[in-house]
């Protein structure tokens, strides 16, 4: 082992790498918001929907996105769709692919949350005179948020890490930029160590912020670490 660490060169690229981290954060955030939105609709259909065909459609959707690799899904969007005349930029393809993929997982999570609302609490709300809307707002949603907060936080963190896939499609997010720096400086060890640290910072900041919000707004009990 005669490899000597040389941080000097790499440290100069910190700003450039942080820029990449910022893009990673953006992609993760947008894909997550999109995923939660789709998953909410899906889970509502699965939990409360009466239309059988619609439920089957949602179930197939979930099965498809949970059982194929996200990378393949994005390849499909980026390389296969153009053959059908639909052209997505690499940013669009990655964002859409991650959104669809995470929405499959989130559907299952949300559905479990919906099912955990105690029938007895709903009955109590009903006999106290609450309408369906009041019940949803005062009883069901706060409960669902509280129960789902920890698993949703975990999925968000996981998604942040998955954004590194974007580098394959030439996006200059954290991993993409780390790769560029490594190619330019040949200091792979230092560069990828630094980018790993930045990923840790990204996820730690995200989980701390989410933890604080959860604890104070929704009385979530999960521990931070």
Partner 1 sequence: MHHLAIDRLTASYDGKEQVLVDVSLQVAKGEIVSLIGPSGSGKSSLLRSLVGLLVPKSGEVMLDGEKVDYTNRKSVKALRERLAIVFQQYNLFQNMDALRNVTVAPVKIRKRNAREVEEEATALLRKVGLGDKLHAYPDELSGGQQQRVAIARALALKPDILLLDEVTSALDPELVSEVLDAIRILAADGMTMLMVSHEMALVREISTRVVMMDRGRVIEEGTADRIFDNPRTERCQEFVSKILGH
Which run of H or of E encompasses 210? helix 188-218
Instruction: Pick one of 54, 57, 128, 209: the residue that binds partner 1 (CB under 8 A).
Output: 128
CA–CA separation, 77 and 151 (whole Å): 28
Residue 222 beta carbon to partner 1: minimum distance, rounded to whole angstroms: 14
Selected range binding partner 1 among 22-30, 70-78, 91-99, 142-150, rule: CB under 8 A? 142-150
- Opening angle at CA 175, ends 64 and 107, nearest 5: 25
Which DSSP symbol is given to 68? S
Selected range binding partner 1 among 19-27, 55-63, 125-133, 148-156, rule: CB under 8 A? 125-133
Instruction: Please state the separation of Cα 30 from the chain's center in Å.
Output: 8
21 by Cβ neighbours in 10 Å (0-12 / 13-18 / 19+) ranks as buried
Selected range binding partner 1 among 12-20, 86-94, 134-142, 179-187, rule: CB under 8 A? 134-142
Query: Applying CB under 8 A, does 129 fall inside the site for partner 1?
Result: yes
Q: Which residue has the tokens 């942040």?
A: 160
Q: What is the CA radius of gyration of the chain?
A: 21
Residue 128 beta carbon to partner 1: minimum distance, rounded to whole angstroms: 4
Query: Applying CB under 8 A, does 67 fall inside the site for partner 1?
Result: no
Residue number, 14 or 131, with CB nearest to partner 1: 131
Instruction: Pick one of 134, 170, 183, 189: the residue that binds partner 1 (CB under 8 A).
Output: 134
Query: Applying CB under 8 A, does 142 fall inside the site for partner 1?
Result: yes
């Amino acid at each position: 082992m005669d490899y000597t660490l040389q941080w000097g060169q790499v440290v100069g690229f910190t700003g450039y790498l942080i820029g990449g981290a910022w893009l990673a954060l953006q992609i993760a955030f947008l894909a997550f918001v999109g995923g939660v939105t789709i998953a909410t609709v899906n889970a509502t259909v699965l939990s409360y929907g009466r239309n059988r065909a619609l439920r089957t459609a949602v179930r197939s959707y979930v099965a498809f996105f949970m059982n194929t690799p996200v990378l393949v899904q994005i390849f499909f969007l980026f390389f296969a769709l153009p053959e059908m005349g639909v052209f997505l930029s690499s940013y669009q393809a990655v964002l859409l692919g991650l959104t669809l993929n995470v929405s499959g997982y989130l559907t299952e999570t949300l559905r479990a949350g919906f099912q955990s609302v105690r029938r007895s609490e709903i009955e109590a709300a009903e006999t106290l005179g609450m309408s369906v809307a009041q019940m949803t707002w005062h009883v069901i949603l706060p409960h669902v948020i509280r129960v789902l907060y920890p698993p949703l936080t975990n999925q968000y963190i996981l998604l942040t890490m998955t954004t590194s896939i974007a580098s394959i499609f030439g996006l200059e997010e954290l991993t993409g930029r780390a790769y560029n720096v490594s190619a330019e400086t040949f200091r792979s060890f230092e560069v990828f160590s630094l980018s790993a640290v930045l990923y840790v910072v990204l996820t730690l900041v995200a989980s701390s912020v989410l933890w604080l919000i959860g604890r104070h707004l929704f009385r979530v009990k999960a521990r931070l670490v």
